[in-house]
Amino acid sequence: MPLLPLPFYQRPDVLRIARELLGKHLYTNIDGIITAGRVVETEAYRHQGDHSLTLHLQRKRHQAQGLYLPGGHAYVYTVYNRYALCNLTTNDAEHPDAVLIRAIEPTLGVETMLRRRGLPAATRALTAGPGVLSQALGITPALSGQPLTKPPLWLEDHGETVPEDQIRASARVGLAYAGDEAAGLPWRFRVRDNPWTSPAR
């Protein structure tokens, strides 16, 4: 299937990119084992008018240098000293916009995902949330800075476009620290009624 090309990520409208990533397929090849899933939930982060990203750039100054890469690179950082969050850079190197992949619907390598997660069966807990999907796919901060157009981390277009009426927009998760305005921005996008999206909060 066709790889998502760099021009897809390097457009200036991160909200549009976050919506259009729904239905695309995220792949990893870790130690020769391929795992993948259909993207069903994203969050957009924009350098302009988004206090949460401003604070992130200040708080994680060293790690956040990974955001200053042209669109089409992985930006992976950890929270709570435990969970790796997989973000995709967008726009250009001077404008640190990004999309967080929040949930995927598993499609390939499910047995490997289950083993990595320590789960007996493929339920929502496998990949419904940014930290757990990274664990299932084997995504770690070591992949930060990797281009998204080749292994070990890449996205493919399988010809699906999720219609606007099937996309649910809502507030992003866990941003109370950034103030009401940033926390209330409806920049979390989900495939409506998909059972693999992360829980509503």
**Which tokens in the block code for residue 43?**
């969050």
The pLDDT, as a whole number, for residue 69 is 92
Task: Flag whether pLDDT at 31 surpasses 60.
Answer: yes
- State the pLDDT confidence band at 67, using cuts at 50, 70 and 90: confident
Dihedral sign from CA coordinates of 106, 76, 30, 156: positive
The pLDDT, as a whole number, for residue 116 is 98
Task: Flag whether pLDDT at 120 surpasses 70.
Answer: yes
Residue (of 32, 43, 17) closest to 151 by Cα position: 32
Contact by Cβ (8 Å): 157, 133: no
- State the pLDDT confidence band at 59, using cuts at 50, 70 and 90: low
Q: Mean per-residue pLDDT for 89-109?
A: 95
Task: Flag whether pLDDT at 51 surpasses 70.
Answer: no
The pLDDT, as a whole number, for residue 179 is 62
Q: Alpha carbon of 174 to those of 15, 69, 96, 101, 171: distances in Å?
A: 19, 25, 20, 15, 9
Contact by Cβ (8 Å): 116, 123: no
Q: pTM for the whole thing?
A: 0.93
Task: Flag whether pLDDT at 183 surpasses 80.
Answer: no
| 3-state DSSP assignment of residue 174 | coil
Q: Mean per-residue pLDDT for 22-51?
A: 93
CATH number of 6-191: 3.10.300.10
Q: Mean per-residue pLDDT for 165-188?
A: 81
Task: Flag whether pLDDT at 5 surpasses 90.
Answer: yes
The pLDDT, as a whole number, for residue 75 is 94
Q: Mean per-residue pLDDT for 162-191?
A: 84
Residues 6+ apart with CB under 8 A from 99: 14, 17, 18, 21, 42, 43, 44, 45, 87, 88, 90
Task: Flag whether pLDDT at 81 surpasses 90.
Answer: no
Task: Flag whether pLDDT at 68 surpasses 90.
Answer: no
The pLDDT, as a whole number, for residue 178 is 65
The pLDDT, as a whole number, for residue 86 is 97
